[in-house]
A and B are shown apart, each in its own frame.
Chain A
């Protein structure tokens, strides 16, 4: 599984703004904005069926802070295909 955590739109992202400015400075004035979040790769033993709901709970309680962040849980499709071969 992969988890992407991004700051909510209302939360100022000074890090993203600094990178945006650097990109513009380096010859890419087209850059409108940059938002910086977190990307996590989680290796799981997926035999257990109700894993996803438990993982979602932890996404909400630990991996992200719902006050300032949104998370997205991405299933690792390529890994699944490899397994089914």
Chain B
């Protein structure tokens, strides 16, 4: 199984993502430069963290017009799994693949910390094997990670169970003190309505090796593998039946 890790000029977690993915059995990651136009060979797409195009104008505002983004958008619409971490999440919002926008942290400070997130939805392709309420310890490092969504969007996000992760304290309570950036309703990660595009501010890529203090991030990558395998089996069966 092969994952694409997109490299924009200014991406700086591309190597973290590739290392995290390659450390998992049966999974291989390849860099894809943002000037490329096709992603047909890949089972899933990862938009890494960093500062694509220097975050000029707004985070992700220029990156979303990179040539590769046409392929990301069309593959996402066709159902391929797309994961955006940190800056990748910002790019996905700017590209309109995820609702809302990520704005300056309420504190005005860049936060670099280990946080606890609570799994809110356990049947997404990104949280297989994480029962609802599972706590994931993941690092964050961002200046613009405060999710803004207007009242209507927020209602839809909740009604469609698109909120996958919320910042929580170490007992799993959704409290203001656990929120590192002022995100509305402590939201740390959301998916699209179709559930195949997931963006989160924390870094699963930096939490996939015990030496880095947490291996909870690997659960997200592993879940994607399970979802893709399950989907393949289903479609093969369907072919056999047909």
Contact = CB atoms under 8 A, between A and B. Distances in A.
Interface of A: 7, 10-12, 14-15, 18, 62-63, 65, 67-68
A67 B58 CA distance: 12
A65 B108 contact: no
B104 interface: yes
Contact of B150 (A10, A18, A62, A63): A10
Contacts of A67: 93, 99-101, 148, 150
Contacts of B107: 14
Contacts of B93: 67
Interface of B: 57-58, 61-62, 65, 93-94, 99-101, 103-108, 146, 148, 150, 182
Closest 8 CB pairs of A and B: A67-B101, A68-B101, A14-B108, A14-B106, A65-B101, A11-B148, A68-B148, A65-B58
23 contacts: A7-B103, A12-B106, A12-B146, A12-B148, A12-B182, A14-B104, A14-B105, A14-B107, A14-B108, A15-B104, A18-B108, A62-B57, A62-B62, A63-B57, A65-B58, A65-B61, A65-B101, A67-B93, A67-B99, A67-B100, A67-B101, A67-B148, A67-B150
